Amino acid sequence: MSQPNQPPSYPAIRFITAWGDALAILVAVACMAIGIYAAWLGYAWPCFVVGVAVGLILWLVLRSYTEVLRILSDTLMPR
């Protein structure tokens, strides 16, 4: 808990601003790998397409979220 006269530290925001790019890539690659693995197991080729598409969409969403959070933390968070 923060002291009354100290600003809050926001550890989750600091973590995402520091590691957001790597997290976006990791989540996207994991999703793509699941789609590729499902297609390899024989479920169907659409699993491959859906896995790659969802991975790319997740990368884009998480990357943009990281950028917005960086802008907000730079302008609104106390140093």
- Ranges of each domain in the chain: 21-76
In the predicted structure, residue 78 carries a pLDDT above the cut 80 = no
In the predicted structure, residue 6 carries a pLDDT above the cut 80 = no
CA–CA separation, 2 and 67 (whole Å): 27
Percent of the chain exceeding pLDDT 70 equals 94
Do residues 36 and 51 touch, judged by C-beta distance below 8 A?
yes
Question: Is this model's pTM higher than 0.75 or not?
Answer: yes
Q: Range with the lowest mean pLDDT among 21-25, 46-50, 58-62? A: 46-50
